Chains A and B, each alone.
Chain A
């Protein structure tokens, strides 16, 4: 029991922080309910997927600076193809966009493995490449989105067999994040592949000597990140109804959430739960400050300060642990 607590201490702390913030929100705005949770969920959606993408590569000991650009490519691809397409065609388009994401990630990974150029440099170059690709697909924000996709994240959850009141408070967008990430990540985490990702991230040499294929694992990790980034791009299209070729602020935000979520940037330590919780905490902080009618610019300062203070505190904690 104490072991589990120690292992998941950071995540539990974040969950407690999130709960405390929810209570605080309810106190600030007594009629905070489904609509509030719904807008929180929808605002957090692209950030959550971007953060998940970043988490996977960081766990594998890398970093992907091109996450936001890949999201832009996925968003414009989806929006351009869905413009004028029927609802059933949209299903295929979603599948296609996810495959495109997977390929983009795999290209990133393959370039890192085969050129042996450091990951930061490769993904920095690919940031320009994907950004340019997105601009080639759509010159400005336009395109369309299937209705069922938009409805997928709108409002509260209703399940066929259960009474509406039981599940209606839960926003569909939050459920979508949990279900999609669960379906993708849990089987991987439990398989040999998940173990390899952690192994490569914590000590490549040891992993290599234990028979883990370094290159293959890295490429798969980056491909997964591409897939998750594509989901993030699709969720952008879902919430706005159009495609946006200019990458949003998701790179910085995802790195911040990964660090806040207790994932070590050196790789191999942490999980997916922490960063996702961190995304919701950060979005909720922003929402609370807006509700308190704090100047949105001050909100940026507060967000940045939280990030800086948390990483400094975390660094000091790690330092104390090492000295002991």
Chain B
């Protein structure tokens, strides 16, 4: 433990995005070698299209993980928003339906904030519980609206699946979103408070931070981001269901972790998460291309996530 960090590892911990970018390039090259000609404009657009919802949902995990928390209700929140929006469109019209659908996500976030900040419940448990309650509520809600049917608005389908000049339209949503998060995490007081709380909550509290306000804002924000992800994702899939975004929850945690955000807080950032989401998406394609059974794909997926995280932590000296 007293060993001086080598120059390489110091450089890597100063610029943690370099090894991730290298890994992404290696994966893409492997894909090209495996199936020459697959890496073209169309493939890139498709990869980005599927990586964007994952990266957005992973933003919830990144921001909460910076404070040492996690948001396991994000997947459910996204599903709820997507479902409520699709079923309310025939009744309320598109703009109002979108506005109404975000309300449950904010409510879930505030409930999370209340449990975590005021009652001091572990975020893992609190968000898990909120997710359970919301799933139940969604199932009951579904029986009331089953007659009205559901519509995915044209505008969301355009955003989710359309392409302009070869690039997916969802970039129009994602680029400002990512810029905002990247700017917020380093340049704004709120972003710095997240790092401060994650590094040492007691110290942050003693230096006058009202941690409960930060938690409320953070989890409500996480709910809103999850909600927007749900809207985008339903535009991509075009079929709202009761478990639409839920399967993306654990990959979103994985994307943040692979991207170098520490699950104990205070370390990492959204830049890594975006690369993490891209890496996971390319990895998914790679494993689909190789003709192996579905089970083996899961095994490799898990092992690669673990190996990447372990190597990455070794390289950047975060043990």
Contact = CB atoms under 8 A, between A and B. Distances in A.
Interface string A11-55: 000000000000000000000000000000000000000000000
Contact of A301 (B111, B133, B298): B133
A315 B137 CA distance: 25
A188 interface: no
A287 interface: no
Nearest to A315: B119
A183 interface: no
A125 B303 contact: yes
A307 interface: yes
Given A125-B303, A128-B301, A136-B295, A300 B119 contact: no
Contacts of B300: 132
Interface stretch (B31-39, B89-97, B124-132, B206-214): B124-132
**Which of A117, A295, A307, A313 counts the most B-chain CB atoms under 10 A from its CB?**
A117
Nearest to A122: B306
A307 B132 contact: yes
B5 to A, nearest CB: 16
Given A129-B299, A135-B294, A303 B124 contact: no
A99 B201 CA distance: 43
B120 A117 contact: no
B115 interface: yes
Given A128-B298, A135-B293, A308 B115 contact: yes
Contact of A132 (B250, B298, B309): B298
A312 B296 contact: no
Nearest to A300: B136
Contact of A120 (B134, B137, B263, B293): B263
Given A126-B306, A255-B125, A307-B129, A132 B139 contact: no
A116 to B, nearest CB: 5
Given A124-B253, A256-B128, A311-B115, A133 B295 contact: yes
Interface string A291-304: 00001011111111
Nearest to A306: B129
A245 B294 CA distance: 12
B140 interface: yes
B133 A305 contact: yes
**Which of B128, B131, B301 counts the most A-chain CB atoms under 10 A from its CB?**
B128
B177 interface: no
Contacts of A245: 295
B129 A117 contact: no
A118 interface: yes
B139 A259 contact: no
Contacts of B17: none
B190 interface: no
A111 interface: yes
Interface residues of B, number: 48
A135 B295 contact: yes
B312 to A, nearest CB: 9
A132 B301 contact: yes
A186 interface: no
A128 to B, nearest CB: 3
Size band of the interface chain A makes with B:
35 or more
A314 B70 CA distance: 20
B225 interface: no
B14 to A, nearest CB: 21
Contact of B140 (A111, A121, A125, A301): A301
Given A111-B306, A128-B299, A132-B299, A298 B129 contact: no
A316 B121 CA distance: 9
A252 interface: yes
A297 B295 contact: no
A303 B310 CA distance: 37
Contacts of B294: 132, 135
B305 interface: yes
Contacts of B135: 300, 304
B134 to A, nearest CB: 8
A264 to B, nearest CB: 9
B3 interface: no
Interface in B236-287: 250, 253-254, 257, 262-264
A259 B124 CA distance: 11
A319 interface: yes
A125 B305 CA distance: 6
Interface of A: 63, 111, 115-118, 120-122, 124-129, 131-137, 245, 252, 255-256, 259, 265-266, 295, 297-305, 307-308, 311-316, 318-319
21 contacts: A115-B310, A120-B263, A121-B263, A125-B254, A132-B294, A132-B302, A133-B298, A137-B295, A256-B128, A265-B125, A266-B122, A300-B135, A303-B132, A304-B129, A304-B132, A307-B132, A311-B115, A311-B119, A312-B121, A312-B126, A315-B120
Given A118-B263, A300-B136, A304-B135, 16 more contacts: A117-B306, A118-B262, A120-B70, A121-B306, A121-B309, A127-B302, A132-B296, A133-B298, A134-B295, A135-B294, A136-B295, A136-B296, A255-B125, A304-B129, A308-B130, A315-B121
Closest 5 CB pairs of A and B: A132-B298, A135-B295, A128-B302, A300-B136, A304-B132
